[in-house]
Amino acid sequence: MGTGRAMVLLLLLFMLFLVLDVSVVGAQKTTNTTTTTTEFTFRGFTGNESSIRLAGAAMIKPDGLLRITDRTQTVTGTAFYNKPVRLLENNGNSTRVASFSTSFVFVIIPTSSSNGGFGFTFTLSPTPDRPEADAAQYLGLLNEDNDGNLTNHVFAVEFDTVQGFGDVSDRSGNHIGLNFNSLTSDVQEPVVYYDESGRKEDFLLQSGDPIQALLDYDGPTQTLNFTVYPARLKSRPVRPLISQQHVPKLVEIVQEEMYVGFTAATGIDQSSAHYVMGWSFSSGVNLSLAKPLNLSELPPPPPNTAKKTGYDSGVLALIVALSGVTLILLALLFFFLMYKKRLQQGDILEDWEINHPHRRRYKDLYAATDGFNKNRIIGTGGFGTVFRGSLSSSPSDQIAVKKITPNSMQGVREFVAEIESLGRLRHKNLVNLQGWCKHKNDLLLIYDYIPNGSLDSLLYSRPRQSGAVLSWNARLQIAKGIASGLLYLHEEWEKIVIHRDVKPSNVLIDDDMNPRLGDFGLARLYERETLSHTTVVVGTIGYMAPELTRNGKSSTASDVFAFGVLLLEIVSGRRPTDSGTFFLADWVMELRETGDILPAVDPRLGSGYEAGEAKVALSVGLLCCHQRPASRPSMRRVLKYLNGEEDVPEIGDHWGYSDSSKRSKVEGYNVSSDKANSSSVASFSVTRVSSSSVIMSGR
Ligand SMILES: *[C@@H]1O[C@H](CO)[C@@H](O)[C@H](O)[C@H]1NC(C)=O
Ligand SMILES: *[C@@H]1O[C@H](CO)[C@@H](O)[C@H](O)[C@H]1NC(C)=O
Ligand SMILES: *[C@@H]1O[C@H](CO)[C@@H](O)[C@H](O)[C@H]1NC(C)=O
Ligand SMILES: *[C@@H]1O[C@H](CO)[C@@H](O)[C@H](O)[C@H]1NC(C)=O
Ligand SMILES: *[C@@H]1O[C@H](CO)[C@@H](O)[C@H](O)[C@H]1NC(C)=O
Ligand SMILES: *[C@@H]1O[C@H](CO)[C@@H](O)[C@H](O)[C@H]1NC(C)=O
Ligand SMILES: *[C@@H]1O[C@H](CO)[C@@H](O)[C@H](O)[C@H]1NC(C)=O
């Protein structure tokens, strides 16, 4: 077993010798200032250890690698070809530097990817070692005292892996420099190579991978080309990294006999092992390129034992931080652009507006209504202006957009939550709320478009204009429909919804004379707007229950009251109040007390109505207008009375409001009384009486 292993080892060594075919043609000294050719090629250094003059930390490893420094802190190492090279050429009475070419493959293995240092040089030196040289940034080449001194006669290509250091100006890590007597580079380039398409590819010197360097100097043209690239590439880049014409300093530097070789150094915290795997050199009057070094013919590269951690903790943290900042900036930019876009469309979303399924885009509404064109207005009053819009050419895509400008947007946020739930209300007697949109200070509500207009216009405008009086059956159907819609709001949906503003203009009539209640819950927006110490009553004069003026609290009973007034209105064709002296409910009550209620029926119907039904309707209307909320029937009952399923009960005591108001009601019988000083809402300073919704506030 043991002998077998030794045999294998021997065989391997033998093969290594074969592979490392090192050919050296020694320089021959002929006469002074007369060039001779020097040419050598080391594919690994095994067997030719004596050709290399080592100093400091440099050594040739048994595997044939030339290691200039290990990763010991602050060491220097030099390795020179042991014979001088003659580079001065005497051209009669002038001298110039002869051509030379060199090629080498090196590996730099840092302690960790962030803590490598300091680099190495390829050097032309008058001496085969650098005894005075210092470590760290002096790269084993010079020292603090002789740095920059013209008597150095040193030319070096530096492979620097450390970022700018104190007294050495203008450095970045990972760069190549051309140095003349000094560690300050005359020419400095970042480490890149040009690929076939001429694109720059950068790479790290201290990657731990083999890297090929080529330096060619053409004497006659005084051109110096330098190329560096990862040795794994199939062919050398066509374009050199550095191409310098006229390097006049070189002739001042080169002396009769120069030594060629490498120097390297490590620092205190930054240290790398610097290896040379193979090296070829050629010099002479005419340029002949150094022998190419094929990676497969070189000893295997040293294992990359660089610790990854340093990079992780330091640079990685920086990279992560920078990426984070970049991401944040990009995100900000993105949101800024979005915001700007929204701004242009006037659609600025606040947090709470996002994720509401019923929210619509202002842009769409704007387009649907021709930019809220005046010609599109189909109604004003209530709480805003209503526009007709069409989302597409199809008639089923008609919408009504109600534009409301609340006094403040304070309550809108809560209200939107409510709209969101109102948007789920579905009943044949309710106007379907499709969605909403907030734009600047406007709140836009999108409803189904109901073509026939409102009950208000059917009761009043249309008869005036065309004499077309709403038939009794239509009136009854409408009354029942409204009752049905209110019943749904009050009792049949998942939540109790109080309409708060039941009146003819909020009842839309579709093609089938089917009534649809609109604007439900909308008044709540105005209730919400107020400060807590203020009581606000929202509704329409004439339809507001008396208790609203006392405690301001809407209830299903106050809706029932408004329905009662509306019912009386539908039957009688008269507005509920008139300049504060006529009150429909009181008037009907008076008629009832006289024993004949039927004169309350709209005279325009003539005899075109059913007396029994009219009596029931009027009685139900009166019952709903009872001053005590508890005495009013529920909408369920109301519907049963109207459908004839239950008898209308007698109206109990205390139906009316007060003696004084009752008196005025009696006076109001003729609708011409000028005693305008008492009304059911007299405790509030309401100066305007109209069919519009009003907001009254008091403390
Ligand atoms: C070369 O020059 C040195 C001094 O620079 C001199 O000593 C030597 O004799 C010269 N050799 C020849 C062959 O001229
Ligand atoms: C280098 O090694 C080769 C054989 O591999 C040998 O012929 C040559 O003499 C050596 N050169 C030196 C300078 O030792
Ligand atoms: C030497 O220099 C002189 C003067 O500059 C010049 O005339 C002469 O041609 C030069 N000789 C050679 C061989 O170049
Ligand atoms: C350069 O080096 C020489 C020889 O070591 C020395 O005499 C001279 O003073 C140095 N010059 C400077 C500027 O340091
Ligand atoms: C140096 O590079 C330039 C540009 O690629 C090329 O034209 C020139 O021939 C090269 N010279 C030498 C000596 O390699
Ligand atoms: C160098 O090249 C020139 C022209 O190409 C030639 O005349 C000369 O003999 C060459 N010299 C050597 C030493 O090869
Ligand atoms: C390197 O050597 C391998 C095998 O010896 C050969 O196939 C390849 O072509 C060579 N590459 C170059 C660039 O000479």
The ligand 5 atom nearest the CA atom of 223: 13
Distance 244 CA to ligand 5 centre (A): 9
How many domains is the chain built from?
A: 4
673 domain-assigned: yes
Of 603 and 699, which is predicted with more confidence?
603
497 domain-assigned: yes
Determine the Cα–Cα distance for residues 635 and 497; give it in Å rounded to an integer.
13
| CATH number of the domain within which 378 lies | 3.30.200.20
Q: Burial level of 297, CB count in 10 A (0-12/13-18/19+)?
A: middle
Per-residue model confidence (pLDDT) at position 657: 56
State yes or no: is 596 an active-site residue: no
Q: Which of 301, 325, 342 is the last residue of a domain?
A: 342
Nearest CA to ligand 3 atom 3: 93
For residue 552, pLDDT over 50 is answered with yes
225 C-beta closer than 6 A to ligand 5: yes
pLDDT (mean) for 90-105: 86
Q: Which of 396, 423, 448 is the last residue of a domain?
A: 448
The ligand 3 atom nearest the CA atom of 93: 1
46 domain-assigned: no
197 C-beta closer than 6 A to ligand 1: no
Are 350 and 332 in a shared domain?
A: no
pLDDT (mean) for 305-333: 77
- In the chain the first and final C-alpha atoms are separated, in Å, by 109
Per-residue model confidence (pLDDT) at position 499: 86
510 C-beta closer than 6 A to ligand 5: no
pLDDT (mean) for 414-424: 73
CA angle 397, 398, 404 (to 5 degrees): 125
Per-residue model confidence (pLDDT) at position 680: 32
Distance 284 CA to ligand 6 centre (A): 10
For residue 533, pLDDT over 60 is answered with no
CB 380 within 8 A of CB 419: no
- Ligand 6 site residues, Cβ closer than 6 angstroms: 285-286
Are 331 and 387 in a shared domain?
A: no
Determine the Cα–Cα distance for residues 65 and 279; give it in Å rounded to an integer.
11
Are 423 and 535 in a shared domain?
A: no
35 domain-assigned: no
Are 285 and 141 in a shared domain?
A: yes
Nearest CA to ligand 5 atom 3: 243
Distance 395 CA to ligand 2 centre (A): 100
Give the residue, out of 32, 33, 257, 258, with the most ligand 1 atoms within 8 A of its beta carbon, to mutate for a pocket test: 32
CA proximity to 407, closest of 526, 292, 509: 526
Mean pLDDT of the chain: 81
Q: What tokens were used for 216?
A: 């060619």
Are 263 and 251 in a shared domain?
A: yes
Element (DSSP H or E) covering residue 586:
helix 584-593
For residue 678, pLDDT over 60 is answered with no
31 C-beta closer than 6 A to ligand 1: yes
Are 335 and 371 in a shared domain?
A: no
- Percentage of the chain surpassing pLDDT 90? 36
Are 504 and 610 in a shared domain?
A: yes
**pLDDT tier at 81 (50, 70, 90 boundaries)?**
very high
Per-residue model confidence (pLDDT) at position 10: 54
Of 609 and 314, which is predicted with more confidence?
609
298 domain-assigned: no
Region of poorest pLDDT, from 89-93, 223-227, 248-252 = 89-93
Determine the Cα–Cα distance for residues 79 and 275; give it in Å rounded to an integer.
11
Determine the Cα–Cα distance for residues 478 and 573; give it in Å rounded to an integer.
13
Q: What residues are paired with 436 via a beta bridge? A: 359, 445
33 domain-assigned: no
Give the residue, out of 24, 42, 281, with the most ligand 2 atoms within 8 A of its beta carbon, to mutate for a pocket test: 24
Distance 286 CA to ligand 6 centre (A): 6
Are 270 and 287 in a shared domain?
A: yes
Q: What tokens were used for 604?
A: 């325009």
Are 269 and 349 in a shared domain?
A: no
For residue 695, pLDDT over 80 is answered with no
One-letter amino acid of 515: P
| CATH number of the domain within which 593 lies | 1.10.510.10
**pLDDT tier at 209 (50, 70, 90 boundaries)?**
very high
From 501, 559, 586, 602, active-site residue: 501
Give the residue, out of 193, 214, 216, 223, with the most ligand 5 atoms within 8 A of its beta carbon, to mutate for a pocket test: 223
Distance 242 CA to ligand 7 centre (A): 26
Determine the Cα–Cα distance for residues 448 and 39; give it in Å rounded to an integer.
96
Nearest CA to ligand 2 atom 3: 22
405 C-beta closer than 6 A to ligand 1: no
Residue 193, domain extent: 51-293
Q: What tokens were used for 46?
A: 């095994």
Determine the Cα–Cα distance for residues 254 and 256; give it in Å rounded to an integer.
7
CA angle 32, 38, 43 (to 5 degrees): 155
Are 639 and 652 in a shared domain?
A: yes
650 domain-assigned: yes
**pLDDT tier at 396 (50, 70, 90 boundaries)?**
confident
The 3-class SS string of 370-384 reads CCCCHHHEEECCCCE
Q: What tokens were used for 648?
A: 């209308």
pLDDT (mean) for 597-615: 90
What is the four-CA torsion angle of 368, 372, 376, 382, rounded to 10 degrees? 110
218 C-beta closer than 6 A to ligand 5: yes
Distance 47 CA to ligand 2 centre (A): 7
Q: Burial level of 669, CB count in 10 A (0-12/13-18/19+)?
A: middle
Are 216 and 258 in a shared domain?
A: yes
Q: What is the DSSP letter of 33?
A: T
Determine the Cα–Cα distance for residues 166 and 144; give it in Å rounded to an integer.
12
46 C-beta closer than 6 A to ligand 2: no
pLDDT (mean) for 568-597: 87
Are 348 and 462 in a shared domain?
A: no
pTM over 0.85: no
Per-residue model confidence (pLDDT) at position 521: 66
Find out whether 403 is annotated in a ligand binding site: yes
For residue 162, pLDDT over 80 is answered with yes
Please list the alpha-helical segments (H only) found in 170-277. Answer: 249-253
| CATH number of the domain within which 277 lies | 2.60.120.200
Q: Which of 262, 293, 324 is the last residue of a domain?
A: 293
651 domain-assigned: yes
32 C-beta closer than 6 A to ligand 1: yes
Of 677 and 285, which is predicted with more confidence?
285
Most confident of 205-214, 332-341, 400-409: 205-214
- Find where tokens 């730099």 sit: 108
CA proximity to 454, closest of 397, 538, 513, 384: 513
Element (DSSP H or E) covering residue 413:
helix 412-422
51 C-beta closer than 6 A to ligand 5: no
Per-residue model confidence (pLDDT) at position 320: 81
For residue 675, pLDDT over 60 is answered with no
Q: What tokens were used for 235?
A: 């062919």
The ligand 2 atom nearest the CA atom of 47: 2
